[in-house]
Amino acid sequence: MLIFNKIKPYFSGIPLVTVFMTLLSVTVHLEAQVSSGVASVSAESTVYADGPSGNGGAYDKFCMGNLASLGSTRRGYMRFDLPQIPSGASVTRVVMVLNQEKVRVNGVGAPKAATLQLHRVNAAWTEGSSGNQMEACGGGAGGDGINWSNVPDHVSAMSATAALSGATNVLITLDTDIGSDDDGLINDVQAWVNNGASNFGWLARIAEEEINNNARLMEIVSLTVYWTTGGGGGGIAINPGLNDAWFDPATPGQGFFVTVFPDIQQIFLAWFTYDLTRPPGSVSAQLGEPGHRWLTAFGPYSGNEAVLDIELTQGGVFDSATPAPSQSADGSILLEFSDCNAGTVTYDIDSANLQGVIAIQRIAVDNVPFCESFAAQVEQSK
C-alpha cells in the first residue's frame, strides 16, 4: 500500500505537496551502532626544495607542486586531532574535503592538471611558525619546525589519490565510500584510533613533480570519520523532540526533515539530495536545479528505530493539481537514533540498486533539551 493511502486519514484536506511523498522500507537491522565526528586540524605546513631550512607553518593553507623550476618543489603536511572515538571502535568511512584555492597560471601550458597523492607519515613533526610571503606557495623562512632537510619518513604506499583539475576554488572530496583510490585513509585512521601516539598525519604532494609551473594552494576544509562500536540495542526513544532538520556534515547541501507523530506512532521523513551524476550542462530547469532530487518515507516506530516504506512520486507540475502525480514503492529505510543529536539512515533504493548507511546529526542543537526531556518521560513511564 502506498504511503499516501496509509496517511490520508490523518491528513484529510492537506495538499499533497505539503505532505511531500516517497522513499524506503527496510529489511535489515544493523547490529553495530554507526557514529561520526569531525576532526580538527592540529598542524599543517609546507616544505620547500628551494628553501630547505624553512617552512610555511605560519600560513593557514599549504602548497604542492612546482613554481618555474623543478628545483622549486613544494609539499604539504597535515595532522588532525580525531573526534572522541571509543576504544575498540572500527573505522568504517573517512571523508576528507580540500579546497584547491589557487593554481599557478604562469608558464607554458599553465594552469595544469595534476594528481594528488597522500601518504601516511611515520614520525613526529611540528608545523613551525615560519612564512614570510603572502601565501604558502610563495615560500617559507628559516626557523623551528619541519623543513625539506628534516622531513619525517612516510609510508611509500599511497593512502589516497585524486585527480586535480586546473580550476580554482574547487572542492576535492576523498570519500572511502566512493571508489577505492582513497580506501587507505580508513587503515590510517584505524591505526591512530588503536594507538594515538602513532598519529603523525599525512604528506600531501602531487605525482607530477617532474613538471614545472603546476603549484597549487590548498585549504583543509574538513575531515569526517565514521565508526561502529558493535552491539545494537539502546539508543534514544523516538519522540517529538527529534522533529528537526538533519544532515551529514560530509555531504553539504543535502539532508533530511524528520517529523514524529506520537499519537499514531508514525514518522515522516523527507530526503533532499541530488541525482547520482551531474546532468549535462545543456540540461536546464524552469524552477530549481536540474540535479535536485527529493524522496520521502513514512512508517511506524518502536523504541529508537523506525522502519519506513519508500515511494517515488513523479509526474506533477509546480503548484498545480494537474497532471495528477503518480506514486510507486521504491525500497526501504531503517531510521535509528543513538541519542538526541545522532542517528543513522540505512537505505535500500530499488530503482537505483543503492544501499548504504548515512550518519546524521542536527543542523542546530536547539531542540536537544526538548528531546532529552521527552526521552526521560518515556523511560519513567516504563
Per-residue pLDDT of 109-139, as tens digits, reads 889 999 999 999 999 999 998 888 889 999 8
pLDDT in tens, 244-267: 999 988 888 999 999 999 999 999
User: pLDDT per residue over 273-297, tens digit each?
Assistant: 999 889 898 998 888 888 889 899 9
Q: Is the pLDDT of residue 12 over 70?
A: no
Q: Give the pLDDT of residue 33.
A: 61
On average, the pLDDT of the chain sits at 86
Dist CA 206 CA 64 (whole Å): 6
pLDDT of residue 8: 46
The residue count for the chain: 382
Q: In the predicted model, is pLDDT for residue 11 greater than 50?
A: no
Residue 2, pLDDT > 90, answer: no
Q: Judge contact between 134 and 64, C-beta under 8 A.
A: no
Report which DSSP code applies to 122: -
Instruction: Starting at the earlier edge strand, list the strands of the sheet with 202-206.
Output: 141-142, 54-55, 40-48, 74-81, 202-206, 114-120, 160-164
Closest by Cα among 265, 259, 290, 261 to 277: 290
pTM listed for this prediction: 0.56
pLDDT band at 365 (very low <50, low <70, confident <90, very high): confident
222 is written with which cell numbers? Answer: 574538513
Query: Mean pLDDT over residues 29-35, rounded?
Result: 55
From the number of C-beta atoms within 10 Å of its C-beta (0-12, 13-18, 19+), residue 288 rates as exposed
